[in-house]
Structure 1
Amino acid sequence: MPKIHIVTDSTSELNPEAIKQYDLHVVPLNIQIGGKTYLDRVDLEPKAFLELMENSPELPKSSQPAPGVFKELYDRLGQNGDQVLSIHMTGGMSGTVESARTAAELTDTDVTVVDSRYISHALAFQVLEAADMAREGKAMEEIVARLDQVREKTKLYVILDTLDNMVKGGRIGKGRALVGSFLKIKPIASLDGGEYTPVAKARSYKQVVQYLMNDFKERTQGKQVKGIGIAHAEGFNMANPLIQELEAAGFTDIKMDYTTPVISTHTGVGAFAFMFYTE
């Protein structure tokens, strides 16, 4: 029976230990800043990126890996007749999954490409579930069906601390940003359907934490919480109090890391994302 190799991209926030433990293959996105191009998490770590971004007059840019990068990996993984399951960040925010699909059509390897409709730890939820099932010898169809279930039971919120990068990126006008800054508004958005969707506004860090905890308790009542993740861009003013609330409620297994530059480019410094999934 052919082996199933799991491929993902660098926006999954997976650390080297997890990548090695689950025998994963991670393709990095490209980050352009200060006239230079870097490979995400290969020659530019998220924390170092934030420092570069704060000192850059222009908004950094990210781009998907070229189809040729994926094809080369798919060719190598499938040379013995093995299959490949390639799971990627939402197509609503990047062309990465389309690049993978193009490569899947060009390679002789049996490749299945999945749009996770998420990013960060919420993408990793699907990647790790797939890796566990592949190790157990499950068939591709069964794994893909399970990923559909995980996706439906996942929730991800993004909270901004400043609107500066949204203005630089042309996503909102300067007038709205000035009003938002004056009122100390913290926009809360979800990643429903793979796209950034505003859902609420908070006037303080405390209100943000209260909103997220109330929503978490409501959505997880009577269910098993399978995973919790927090990704941040130095957003400790909101992330740390939330972690304290979660731990007080009995949830101690929380994955936390600096977020991918693909996200922090749009959110700016001080933002964070909170995500979880249930059974």
Structure 2
Amino acid sequence: MSPPGSTAGRHAGRIAVVTDSTASLSIADAEVEGITVVPLKVVIGAETHTEGVDVTPDAIADALREFVPVSTSRPTPEEFLAVYEGLAGQGATSIVSVHLSAKMSGTFESAQLAAGRASIPVMCIDSTQVGIATGFAAGRAARACAAGGTEADAVGAALGAGEASTVLMYVDTLEYLRRGGRIGSAAALIGSALAVKPLLTITDGMVVPLERVRTTAKALSRVETLAVEAAEAAPDGVEIGVQHLANADEADAIAVRLAERLGLESVPVNEVGAVIGAHVGPGMVSVTVTPR
């Protein structure tokens, strides 16, 4: 049995794939892909919650609006070890563990510490990404295993997806990222001083400013345009998804336009998980593009 809060799926062959809850995989998607999800924690005020179990993105958005202190914490090495040993007990002979950027969370470090104590080989992968970009990387690893690939194939697939992904993010304010130490304070001050709407991206595993736009409408339009450019530059197609926190109308509208412009049947939209939501704040909209 998996630890409380984890999502256990089948594993292809003898290789199991693990990720963390910031990867934004639904329970159904994790089961289909055969991925086990280890949850992070969110602290709202004095109460600790488990992502994906007893806290919703809406609760995070409400807490942030009301200036209730919100923080996040990584899984402990012991929690990872319990997952790894549980998979070993189910017959896995090795594990590929794919996680959000090590520069933004200690989750990868916890996974590494647990891997050193596990009874079977565990290869920990820093996706250098966040959100569904990490989920896409974990999915690539799982599909490599399902196709009969080796651990090296799964590792290469995950690393390649992370390196190739483009994440484009609009936030109403940099304040939440500044509070959590996820972006330099100088960038936050510049954004506030000029009263601009910041566009962000992920570079070398860190959230960095990409462009500064004067209005929300122009910022979201620019996110859409850059996403189309990234998708059209991929010769073999892309995986693409839109995420948001308490901004469903804008996210849905962008997804519809992206599908039209890229000739896709649809572009999936989901609300970002509680942990990422705690750092980006209400109003965030992002688009992730990962070449196939």
TM-score, normalised with respect to structure 1:
0.89
**Is the 1:225–1:276 Cα contact (8 Å) retained in structure 2?**
no
Q: Give the counterpart of 2:279 among 253, 263, 266.
A: 266
- Residue 247 (structure 2) aligns with: 235
| Secondary structure at 1:161 match in 2 | coil
- Residue 74 (structure 2) aligns with: 64
Q: Give the counterpart of 1:162 among 173, 179, 182.
A: 173
Distance 2:291 2:92 in 1: 35
| Secondary structure at 2:173 match in 1 | coil
Q: Give the counterpart of 1:248 among 260, 274, 284.
A: 260
CA drift of 1:157 comes to: 1.6
**Is the 1:4–1:85 Cα contact (8 Å) retained in structure 2?**
yes
Q: Give the counterpart of 1:87 among 95, 98, 102.
A: 98
Distance 2:138 2:117 in 1: 23
CA drift of 1:218 comes to: 2.8
Identity %: 24
Distance 1:166 1:234 in 2: 16
CA drift of 1:116 comes to: 0.7
| Secondary structure at 1:62 match in 2 | strand
1:275 equivalent to 2:288? Answer yes
- Residue 179 (structure 1) aligns with: 193
Any unmatched runs of 5+ in structure 1? Answer: none
Over 3 Å counting, the alpha-carbon distance change for 1:121 and 1:168 in structure 2 is closer
CA drift of 1:260 comes to: 2.0
2:72 counterpart letter in structure 1: S
Coordinate RMSD, CA, aligned: 2.3
CA drift of 1:140 comes to: 0.5
| Secondary structure at 1:101 match in 2 | helix
**Is the 2:101–2:108 Cα contact (8 Å) retained in structure 1?**
yes
Q: How many residues align?
A: 275
| Secondary structure at 1:106 match in 2 | coil
Is the deviation greater in 240-249 or in 87-96?
Answer: 240-249
Is the deviation greater in 3-12 or in 233-242?
Answer: 233-242
TM-score, normalised with respect to structure 2:
0.86
- Residue 143 (structure 2) aligns with: 132
Structure 1, residues 121-152: CA drift from partner, whole Å, max 9, x if none?
11111111111121222100112122232223
Distance 1:143 1:57 in 2: 41
Is the deviation greater in 143-152 or in 100-109?
Answer: 143-152
Distance 1:27 1:169 in 2: 21
Over 3 Å counting, the alpha-carbon distance change for 1:107 and 1:2 in structure 2 is same
- Residue 5 (structure 2) aligns with: none
Structure 1, residues 171-198: CA drift from partner, whole Å, max 9, x if none?
6489756534xx4x21011111110110
1:46 counterpart letter in structure 2: P
**Is the 2:256–2:266 Cα contact (8 Å) retained in structure 1?**
no
Q: Give the counterpart of 1:224 among 226, 232, 236.
A: 236
**Is the 1:164–1:177 Cα contact (8 Å) retained in structure 2?**
no
**Is the 1:205–1:238 Cα contact (8 Å) retained in structure 2?**
no
Over 3 Å counting, the alpha-carbon distance change for 1:95 and 1:210 in structure 2 is same
Q: Give the counterpart of 1:99 among 110, 114, 133.
A: 110
2:53 counterpart letter in structure 1: V
**Is the 1:205–1:237 Cα contact (8 Å) retained in structure 2?**
no
Taking the TM superposition and a 5 Å limit, the aligned residue runs for 1:196-235 are 196-221=207-232, 223-235=235-247
**Is the 1:71–1:106 Cα contact (8 Å) retained in structure 2?**
yes
Over 3 Å counting, the alpha-carbon distance change for 1:150 and 1:243 in structure 2 is same
